[in-house]
Structures are given as C-alpha cells and as structure tokens.
Amino acid sequence: MREIELSLNQTQKIRLKRALEKLESLSSKANYNSNASVSISDSIPVNHEDGVLKGHGTLDLNGELVATLCGVVERVNKLVYVRALRARYKPEVGDIVVGRVSEVAQKRWRLDIHYSQDAVLMLSSMNLPDGIQRRRTALDELNMRSIFEENDVICAEVRGIQHDGLHLQARSQKYGKLERGQLLTVPPYLVRRRKQHFHHLEQYGVDLILGCNGFIWVGEHVEAKDDMVEDQVSKPEQQNIKSNKNSISLEEQEQTYTPIETRQSICRIANAVRVLSILGFNINIEVIMDTMNLSSSLNLDIHEMLGSEFCVLVAEGEAERRSLTKKKG
C-alpha cells in the first residue's frame, strides 16, 4: 500500500482519509472497469472465440491470458493490454518531452527522458541557431556544445524508435533549451497526452511545459523568436556569452534579470505541481491553476504550500471538483 508521506495531525488524517474515500467512491462509480485492476500473474478474462490481440503487459500462459504488470486492463476492440501505472515513460511518436542532456556524442546528444534508455537527439534533427537548413558541417559538430551542454534541459518531440534507440527532434523554435526555471519530475502516468503541452500563463509571465515523460518545466516566458535577422546579429554575442560564462557583465545580468514576481510565480506553480504529485492526482493545466489560485486566495507563503494542511485542502478541493464535474456529466 503506497502511503502518502506527510506528517499529519489527527484531524488532518481524518480529513484526508475522507477526501480520498470520496475520490475512491467517485472513481468506482465513474469507471466502468474499476474492477479491471490486475496484479502480476492475475489472469485476464477474454473471449478467445472473438480473437484476441495481446498487448503490452500480457502474456499467454498455457492458453490463459495473464498480466505481467500491475495496472488496469484496457480493451480496444480486439486488443487487450494492461496499462501500468507506476512505470517509466513509454514514448509515443509525437509526444512532447522534456529531458536533460546526459552526454554529448558523435553528431548527437543523449538525453535522459526517464525512459529505459537515453533518447537520442541528432544534430541533424535540430534546427540550427542560424535557422538555415543546410548540411551539418564538421564545424557544426565541433560547436555542438555551444548549442546544448551536459545537464542542459531541453524540450523536444519524439520522432520515433530506430534501431539504435529512441530519436527525438527539435525542429521548431518552441523546442530547444529551457532556461531560467525549474524542472520537476513526476510519475509519467500523471501527465495525460493532450493537444496542448505548452502553456503560456500570461498573467504570471511564465511558461509551463508538461512533458509526456513526467518532466515538467516551469520557467520564465520566452518569446518564440523566428526573426532570423535578429538572431544573426545576436549570434556572435551569444557565442561570446557561452565562451566566457563566468565573466558576464553586470549590465548583461541586469538585462537578463528575472523579476522577483515571476520567480515567485514559478515557485508557486512548481509547488502546486509538487503537491499534486505527492497526492498522486492527475496533472493538467486546469488543476495546476486551481491549486495555484487556492494557494493565493489563502494567502499562503510559497513554502507553506508543501505543508500538510495545504495538501489536505487540495485533496478536499479535488474531491469537490470531481464530484461537480461528475454531476454535470
């Protein structure tokens, strides 16, 4: 039994328990296959006459379909598979992921995206800073580190699985290096695939990227620049910055300074994500904003958001919210 690790007092315990129970009753009513949860080696009832396609997490054992994972049985037409909950990220083509560079290698970067292997971002599937489509030269290869270094956080898209692993691409200005913000890691199953994974929260001046791999980026808003001319002008400058990072002038610091309000917003949003992740709630933009607003309306300090009281409040709020949507539906 996975416990929520919080130090709660007695009343908080009871409140949390009540909220969770409410959630449980809601989901069991809502979910038609609530008893489709299986654990390893449980057999999955199927009608063999209809023909069955075995999907992920299933195994044929002497004519019996058996789960190899703990999760929920899903059926799509003939396909039967087990959707695991707590597991590493399972990439799908087109997923937007956030990753961290673990290695700069021959013509490629390796990225940790919480998959069973490191993902590969080829230099060739990368838009060059100058924005010109051309063959990559040896010089480009040598300058790879000026684009992404080890431990840089990058946003990219899943291109597909090739023989040598998972390939990413970043052929748009919205992908690329992420700076001035926080990277949060949550279990991937909490992030659902949606149409929109990039969110610009204008009122806070913050960008929020919900990577499908459970890596969530909260950072200062950056205008997507697609004017190459400007880029070209600033290119030597940028390179300059790169080459002697340590000697950034005060002036430049001033220029790149993130206002304190923005920083606070970043932290507040990040903590909202953290709370939701602790509670194991689905993470999407609406819930994050609700949580954010709840904390602001309660006039809580940012650090108090991680306290147990706020967690309980969020749980109660979530229970309330879900029961409302349920009634509407």
Partner 1 sequence: MEFVSPEGLRLDGRRPMEMRQIRAEIGAVAKADGSAVFEMGNTKVIAAVYGPREVQNRTQQINDQALVRCEYSMANFSTGDRMRKPKGDRRSTEISLVIRQTMEACILTHLMPRSQIDIFVQVLQADGGTRSACINAATLALADAGIPMRDLVTSCSSGYLNSTPLLDLNYVEDSAGGPDVTVGFLPKVDKVTLLQMDSKLPIDIFENVMQLAIEGCKAIANYIREIMLENTKQLEYRRGI
Angle between helices 308-328 and 285-297 (to 10 degrees): 130
Q: What are phi and psi of 57, to 5 degrees?
A: 75, 15
Among 12, 16, 65, 71, binds partner 1 (CB under 8 A): 71
Residue 282 in contact with residue 27, Cβ under 8 Å?
no
* 88 versus 174: smaller Cβ distance to partner 1: 88
**Which residues, including other chains, have CB under 8 Å from residue 201's CB and lie 6 or more apart?**
207, 208, 221, 265, 269, 289
User: In whole angstroms, how close is the CB of 128 to partner 1 at the nearest point?
Assistant: 27
Which residues from 267-326 bind partner 1, rule CB under 8 A? 279-282, 318, 322
- Give the total of residues touching partner 1 (CB under 8 A): 48
Angle between helices 260-279 and 308-328 (to 10 degrees): 70
* 151 versus 253: smaller Cβ distance to partner 1: 151
162 binds partner 1 (CB under 8 A): no
What type of residue is 177? K
Among 23, 80, 144, 147, binds partner 1 (CB under 8 A): 23
Among 8, 52, 85, 302, binds partner 1 (CB under 8 A): 85
189 binds partner 1 (CB under 8 A): yes
DSSP assignment of 42-68, as one string? Answer: PBPP--GGG--EE-TTEEEETTEEEES
Tokens of 27: 């989901």
Residue 288 in contact with residue 321, Cβ under 8 Å?
no
Residue given tokens 């709020």 in the structure block:
317
238 binds partner 1 (CB under 8 A): no
190 binds partner 1 (CB under 8 A): yes
Spatial CA neighbour of 310 closest among 279, 264, 266: 279
Among 74, 112, 231, 316, binds partner 1 (CB under 8 A): 112
Among 9, 14, 39, 45, binds partner 1 (CB under 8 A): 39
* 23 versus 206: smaller Cβ distance to partner 1: 23
Identify which range of 56-64, 132-140, 206-214, 228-236 contacts partner 1 by CB under 8 A. 56-64
CA distances from 51 to 54, 77, 78 (A): 10, 10, 7
Identify which range of 113-121, 135-143, 150-158, 175-183 contacts partner 1 by CB under 8 A. 113-121
217 binds partner 1 (CB under 8 A): no
Q: Is 227 left (phi over 0), alpha (psi -120 to 50) or beta?
A: beta
Among 9, 14, 17, 27, binds partner 1 (CB under 8 A): 27
Binding site for partner 1 (CB under 8 A): 1-3, 5, 20, 23-24, 26-28, 30-31, 34, 37-42, 57, 59, 61, 66, 68-72, 84-88, 102, 110, 112, 116-118, 165, 189-190, 279-282, 318, 322
